[in-house]
Structure 1
Amino acid sequence: MSINRKIKLVKFIFITIFWGFVVYVFLLQTVHSKKYEQMAVSQHGVSIPLLAERGKILDQYHRPLVYNQLCASIRILPQYVRESSRDSVAKLLASYNLKPHSEIINELITKKNLYWFKKYIDYETACSLKQQLHKRKFDNSIIVVDDIKRIYPFGATLASVTGFIGDEKGLAGLEFSYDTILKGTEGWMLLQKDATGNNYAWPSYPTQKPINGNDLVLTINLDIQDIVYRELEKTVNDFQALSGHIIVLDASDGAVLALADYPDYDPQNFKNSSSKLWTAVSVSDEFEPGSVYKLVICAAALEAPNRKTLLAQKYDVSNGFITVSGRKIKDVHNNGVVDFDNIFVKSSNIGVTMLSQNLSATDFYLKQREFGFGLPTGIELPGEANGFIDRPTSITPLRFANIAFGQGLRATLLQLSMAYLTVAHNGELLKPYLVKEIRQNHKVLYNGKKTVVRRVFSEADAQIMKEILASVVTDGTGRAASLHESQVCGKTGTAQKIEPDGKYSATKSVMTFIGFFPKDNPRYLISVMIDEPKKSRFAGEVTCPLFKTIAQKILYLEKPNHNHNHHLLTYAGPSTN
């Protein structure tokens, strides 16, 4: 072979190799690039979640009840902390009072994968730590990320309504009920880790931006909520009661203006409290209501076929007791001879027993169901109880009499509130609601509104019941609830509690007062329940004065000079420690 042919052959081989390499590189960068990039991601990529900002919870005037605070959290990749660097890393982190040195060393040795070292540290502290980590080249294994802390600035005052979150999930209250609405959608990003262990962004690595959660605007009025909570706390402590519960409703549409329970818990530190406190007792706990339940038999009598006879009749309760199936039913006071209205004004157990003997058990059962007893109201809070009422086939004459004055059934304070609101709203049962709006930025996605569930009785009968309930406050057991500024309609209840042996207690009771005002155009309904007050025997001495104090302060809020922003002006802000 000649020299020229050899030279040409060598050139051809080199050119072939060169163009083969060019084609190979081209294929790597185009056709097969995604394949090898995915291999690199799986071998060297680190996924970092990007948290969505949880939606705020606001009162009806858009004052923040729950919001977010920028902070930082620390994650550690222990497998990338060299053994020779462990002590230095631990000393640095301990110098910021994040954890004791020995605990940090133990974590770096025992943990094998990426983990949360510390959540929710002060943002300024985080910035300083970031600088030190970068300076000492520890930022490849100690990752400081921006984070968001949920803040409950009014603490226990609103705990029954707002609830709380844990591990970024709603665990109680509206935080739980509306978790999917509030939390938004988490994003993520992938970081490249090189041979030396350093993390850095790679332009072609995928990133998914988070979608922030929606805001809830509630029907709650922060001013009224504050009044209710403070007065409830004072009454429970003054009367040495086990607990107390209050609901305030807008009588025009069923919106919840305030809802409070005491004792309480701090949603910012919920782990330090009993889980029994985490639900709204007014919604979740059932109790025997006592005389406040006499409203139902009053309505049943007004709607009965023999209505005219029942309303015209005089009822002789002067004996002080009536015997039903061998059992004596008594009144607290001797009430003599009473008409239909005064059975309720004087709260006569004997009188309602006489009514029960002239009514159909089936009709009475149906009237209870029309009021919503034994059924959930549909409030947005979790854990709502249904209550319990007997079916007509289980109602004996004695059982009927007991139920008529509020024994032998179970109801929630919210169910009782909605029953009285039916009178205030001229015979229509409304659905209670807490969420006024759901907002995405400034766009309204949902509007809460008045919902009429059904008509329970006529407007004419509602007017009769209003007059009776007004007389309870002016002339009967509810005198201590009367207002100079407005005519109140309401009813007291003092229900004996059941002892462990199944008998009714002679000393333990649940006291209630439910009232609305003004009589002719009701704007507010307030329900008060105090459990086992030790310093009083009757609701008129405990719940009526509490109702009156709250009502007077609510009316004061209506004065033109009241500033709805005073809470924000006086609130200094949450601790960041």
Structure 2
Amino acid sequence: MVKNDYWKFKLARVYFSLVFLFILGLLIKYQILEHRKYNLVAATYHLKKIILLPKRGEIFDKKARVLATNVPIFELEVHPSYLNAQQKVKACSLLLKVFPQHSFETIYNLLKKDRFFYLTKNLDYPLGKILEKEINEKNLKNALVLKENFCRLYPFKEVSNLLGRINRQNISLWGIEKKFDNFLKGKEGYWYLQKDACANLYPYPNYPKVEPINGENIFLTIDLDIQRMVYEELKKAVEKENAKRGSCIIIDCESLEILSIVDYPDINPEFFYLTPASICEEFEPGSIFKLVILATILESSQREIFLKQQYDLRTGYLQIGKKRIYDAEKKKLGIIDFYDIFVYSSNIGVSQLALQLGKEEFYKMIKKFRFGEKIEIGIFNEAKGFIPYFKNKKVTNIDLCNNAFGQGIRVSLLQIALAYLAITQNGYYVKPILIKKIGEKVFKPETLEKIMDEKNVLIIKEILHNVCLKGTGKLANFSENIEICGKTGTAQKFDNQLGCYSSKKSIVSFVGFFPKEKPKYLIAILLDEPQKSRFASEGVCPIFRSIAYKLYYSKNILAKAEKR
């Protein structure tokens, strides 16, 4: 008997020792080895992390007028599982006061499903504050949860395609909003709150609170007054011509600030997004590209030969292999000098110049003008254009001629504008600014390269002025006292279905600056597929004239008023 008791006692000791070791092992596992993991699990029951949203940076024009701002709103989360039947009726009655467009049955049926849902993500802030007070009074705050948020507001439609958009999840989609999202969005903060047994939340001093860092404000060089004026002018022109779209860029030649970037319509009907087509879309430029061959010849060692020659255009065409190059409307300009080739925009004359010059110098000048590369002025998805020669170095004589008068290559309106801007800067290629300031950082224009001698710039100015005096740009003039310099362009569009250039679809354009001496403004305009005007001289020059007139005289009146 005593022996049996001894073994029982020994077994009991072993059993309790094993139990003790097992419990000790569990304690070591949960309290030491996996402490962090289970501490986090426990925290989910008595802690709640509240995300503190930063205020997104605002966007302003050059005169500090708000172009993009934030409006406080509420999102309303509904958690029906926290409500009993009586509370659901009470919640329905409360929600109907705020959302009278819904019926009692609709809201009650949603509550009966006991599934979480958003009733709205865009509740007016004042209305939300009233609702918040009533929710607290009726003790429904666990079931009806109001969360503060911001809604992005764009007060002026005229700059909508330039600014871009952010969606309801505060994700930037395109435009300046996308390009500078890292500066605008700021940094989220957070706050840990203590939950009690009834799921009520209380601040607890041992839990951290990190304040959000608001986004930085951005100031543009865009002048809202000019932007709105150009928008209306472009809208009228597009509707009058029944064109596919229109674009316009205005640059201050003195401050090198981009004052206006307008596209109408601002929504791309093919992709349903807002984008500045003048920056992000490419087109074949036509005769406005003749500036490049003109600059190349004037900078070449054969300059004097070209300037003294006469050019025979009496046949009305230039035969290159099996292809023929014609002038607009198959005109026969006769025998003309170097200058009149550009004044009257002769494709035949420019082709003769290109063949005589050769390809090497011409494509080097294209490179100097930065065609085929991005300018990086601060717009998301900026187009870089396409110059086939830069890709394969193989160019036939017909390719060279076509490229010389702006066919078979693709550029953006911005690239064309900057090429002509170099003429206003005495031959220096400059990078203007669109972004004036981000936070405290101020941006300035850059001078990138001298690409032309000043004496050649003077010749180009004279030619461009004669284009507006007696050539294709006569309708661009708005005053006898203001000398305009500019160039028209009419480019046939390539028809993919026919596999050739269309005789009906074209892009008409004009780039001009004024005054001739000490230029103040540069304006680049295009219309895509105008239905009434076949040529730039009649389709785009009148738009330039109207915009230039309003721009010049309104600014002069303002300047005089400021002096007084």
Query: What's the TM-score, normalizing by structure 1?
Result: 0.85
Work out which of the residue numbers 69, 73, 76 in structure 2 matches 1:74. Answer: 76
- CA–CA distance in 2 between the matches of 1:450 and 1:362? 30
SS at match of 2:556: coil
When structure 1 is superposed on structure 2, of 201-210 and 477-486 the one drifting more is 201-210
Matched, 1:481 2:476: yes
Output the amino acid matched with 1:321. Answer: Y
- After superposition, the Cα gap between the structure-2 partners of 1:425 and 1:276, relative to the gap in structure 1 and judged at 3 Å, is farther
Q: Is the 8 Å Cα contact of residues 223 and 564 (structure 1) preserved in structure 2?
A: no
- CA–CA distance in 2 between the matches of 1:274 and 1:68? 30
Matched, 1:505 2:511: no
Match of 1:531 in 2: 528
Q: Is the 8 Å Cα contact of residues 98 and 118 (structure 1) preserved in structure 2?
A: no
Give, in angstroms, the shift of residue 318 of structure 1: 1.9
When structure 1 is superposed on structure 2, of 96-105 and 245-254 the one drifting more is 96-105
Work out which of the residue numbers 324, 327, 332 in structure 1 matches 2:320. Answer: 324
Matched, 1:466 2:461: yes
SS at match of 2:193: strand
Match of 2:22 in 1: none
Q: Is the 8 Å Cα contact of residues 80 and 88 (structure 2) preserved in structure 1?
A: no
Q: Is the 8 Å Cα contact of residues 492 and 540 (structure 1) preserved in structure 2?
A: yes
- CA–CA distance in 1 between the matches of 2:416 and 2:542? 19
SS at match of 2:380: coil
Query: After superposition, what is the alpha-carbon deviation per residue over 1:170-213, rounded to whole angstroms, capped at 9, x for unaligned?
Result: 21111111111011111122233322233333333322211111
Query: After superposition, what is the alpha-carbon deviation per residue over 1:527-548, rounded to whole angstroms, capped at 9, x for unaligned?
Result: 1010011011111111101011
Output the amino acid matched with 1:326. Answer: K
Give, in angstroms, the shift of residue 434 of structure 1: 1.1
Matches within 5 A, 1:7-22: none
- CA–CA distance in 2 between the matches of 1:415 and 1:464? 22
- CA–CA distance in 2 between the matches of 1:60 and 1:387? 29
- CA–CA distance in 1 between the matches of 2:105 and 2:399? 68
Query: After superposition, what is the alpha-carbon deviation per residue over 1:512-570, rounded to whole angstroms, capped at 9, x for unaligned?
Result: 000111111111111101001101111111110101111111112313447999xxxxx
- After superposition, the Cα gap between the structure-2 partners of 1:503 and 1:111, relative to the gap in structure 1 and judged at 3 Å, is farther
Match of 1:573 in 2: none
Match of 1:239 in 2: 241
Match of 1:31 in 2: none
Match of 1:279 in 2: 275
Give, in angstroms, the shift of residue 148 of structure 1: 2.1
Matches within 5 A, 1:386-405: 386-391=384-389, 393-405=393-405
- CA–CA distance in 2 between the matches of 1:307 and 1:95? 81
Output the amino acid matched with 1:369. Answer: K
- How many residue pairs match? The answer is 519
When structure 1 is superposed on structure 2, of 247-256 and 492-501 the one drifting more is 247-256
Match of 2:62 in 1: 60
Q: Is the 8 Å Cα contact of residues 75 and 143 (structure 1) preserved in structure 2?
A: yes
Give, in angstroms, the shift of residue 107 of structure 1: 5.2
Output the amino acid matched with 2:462. Answer: E
Query: After superposition, what is the alpha-carbon deviation per residue over 1:14-33, rounded to whole angstroms, capped at 9, x for unaligned?
Result: xxxxxxxxxxxxxxxxxxxx
Matched, 1:124 2:129: no
- After superposition, the Cα gap between the structure-2 partners of 1:107 and 1:458, relative to the gap in structure 1 and judged at 3 Å, is farther
Output the amino acid matched with 2:347. Answer: N
Match of 1:520 in 2: 517
When structure 1 is superposed on structure 2, of 131-140 and 551-560 the one drifting more is 551-560
Matches within 5 A, 1:309-348: 309-332=305-328, 333-348=331-346
- CA–CA distance in 2 between the matches of 1:158 and 1:274? 20
SS at match of 1:73: strand
- CA–CA distance in 1 between the matches of 2:119 and 2:203? 22
When structure 1 is superposed on structure 2, of 34-43 and 541-550 the one drifting more is 34-43
- CA–CA distance in 1 between the matches of 2:264 and 2:340? 34
Matched, 1:173 2:175: yes
SS at match of 1:504: strand
Match of 2:491 in 1: 495
SS at match of 1:195: coil
Match of 1:13 in 2: none
Q: Is the 8 Å Cα contact of residues 253 and 430 (structure 1) preserved in structure 2?
A: no
Output the amino acid matched with 1:330. Answer: Y
- After superposition, the Cα gap between the structure-2 partners of 1:250 and 1:562, relative to the gap in structure 1 and judged at 3 Å, is closer
- CA–CA distance in 2 between the matches of 1:302 and 1:276? 45
- CA–CA distance in 2 between the matches of 1:478 and 1:220? 27
Q: Is the 8 Å Cα contact of residues 219 and 434 (structure 1) preserved in structure 2?
A: yes
- After superposition, the Cα gap between the structure-2 partners of 1:517 and 1:35, relative to the gap in structure 1 and judged at 3 Å, is same
Query: After superposition, what is the alpha-carbon deviation per residue over 1:393-416, rounded to whole angstroms, capped at 9, x for unaligned?
Result: 321111111111111111111111
- CA–CA distance in 1 between the matches of 2:386 and 2:37? 64
Unaligned runs of 5+ in 2: 1-35
Give, in angstroms, the shift of residue 91 of structure 1: 3.8
Output the amino acid matched with 1:311. Answer: L
When structure 1 is superposed on structure 2, of 322-331 and 195-204 the one drifting more is 195-204
Matched, 1:416 2:416: yes
Q: Is the 8 Å Cα contact of residues 493 and 539 (structure 1) preserved in structure 2?
A: yes
Give, in angstroms, the shift of residue 251 of structure 1: 1.6
- After superposition, the Cα gap between the structure-2 partners of 1:103 and 1:185, relative to the gap in structure 1 and judged at 3 Å, is farther
Q: Is the 8 Å Cα contact of residues 217 and 438 (structure 1) preserved in structure 2?
A: yes
Matched, 1:451 2:446: yes
Matched, 1:549 2:550: no
SS at match of 1:299: helix
Output the amino acid matched with 1:401. Answer: C
- CA–CA distance in 2 between the matches of 1:455 and 1:326? 40
- CA–CA distance in 2 between the matches of 1:488 and 1:316? 29
Q: Is the 8 Å Cα contact of residues 266 and 276 (structure 2) preserved in structure 1?
A: no
Give, in angstroms, the shift of residue 46 of structure 1: 2.3
Match of 2:377 in 1: 379
Output the amino acid matched with 2:274. Answer: W
Q: Is the 8 Å Cα contact of residues 57 and 216 (structure 1) preserved in structure 2?
A: yes
Give, in angstroms, the shift of residue 222 of structure 1: 0.7
Match of 1:21 in 2: none
Give, in angstroms, the shift of residue 244 of structure 1: 0.5
Query: After superposition, what is the alpha-carbon deviation per residue over 1:342-376, rounded to whole angstroms, capped at 9, x for unaligned?
Result: 10000001100110111121111111111111111
Work out which of the residue numbers 191, 201, 204 in structure 1 matches 2:203. Answer: 201
When structure 1 is superposed on structure 2, of 115-124 and 425-434 the one drifting more is 115-124
- CA–CA distance in 1 between the matches of 2:459 and 2:111? 75
Give, in angstroms, the shift of residue 104 of structure 1: 4.4
- CA–CA distance in 2 between the matches of 1:37 and 1:63? 51
Q: Is the 8 Å Cα contact of residues 477 and 492 (structure 1) preserved in structure 2?
A: yes
Give, in angstroms, the shift of residue 160 of structure 1: 1.9
SS at match of 1:217: strand
Match of 2:25 in 1: none
Q: Structure 1 vs Structure 2: percent identity of aligned residues?
A: 38
**What is the root-mean-square deviation in Å for CA atoms of aligned residues?**
2.4
- After superposition, the Cα gap between the structure-2 partners of 1:90 and 1:394, relative to the gap in structure 1 and judged at 3 Å, is farther
Match of 1:137 in 2: 139
- CA–CA distance in 2 between the matches of 1:280 and 1:352? 32
Q: Is the 8 Å Cα contact of residues 377 and 435 (structure 2) preserved in structure 1?
A: no
Unaligned runs of 5+ in 1: 1-33, 566-577
- After superposition, the Cα gap between the structure-2 partners of 1:310 and 1:348, relative to the gap in structure 1 and judged at 3 Å, is same
Q: Is the 8 Å Cα contact of residues 495 and 510 (structure 1) preserved in structure 2?
A: yes
Output the amino acid matched with 1:559. Answer: N
Match of 1:426 in 2: 426
- CA–CA distance in 1 between the matches of 2:271 and 2:560? 36
- After superposition, the Cα gap between the structure-2 partners of 1:207 and 1:517, relative to the gap in structure 1 and judged at 3 Å, is same
- CA–CA distance in 2 between the matches of 1:57 and 1:98? 36
Match of 2:258 in 1: 256
Output the amino acid matched with 2:478. Answer: L
Q: Is the 8 Å Cα contact of residues 478 and 546 (structure 2) preserved in structure 1?
A: no
Q: Is the 8 Å Cα contact of residues 492 and 539 (structure 1) preserved in structure 2?
A: yes
Output the amino acid matched with 1:294. Answer: K
- After superposition, the Cα gap between the structure-2 partners of 1:180 and 1:314, relative to the gap in structure 1 and judged at 3 Å, is same
Match of 1:159 in 2: 160
Q: Is the 8 Å Cα contact of residues 80 and 143 (structure 2) preserved in structure 1?
A: yes
- CA–CA distance in 1 between the matches of 2:500 and 2:58? 48
- CA–CA distance in 2 between the matches of 1:521 and 1:145? 57
Query: After superposition, what is the alpha-carbon deviation per residue over 1:61-100, rounded to whole angstroms, capped at 9, x for unaligned?
Result: 1111111223322234454344553343244223311873
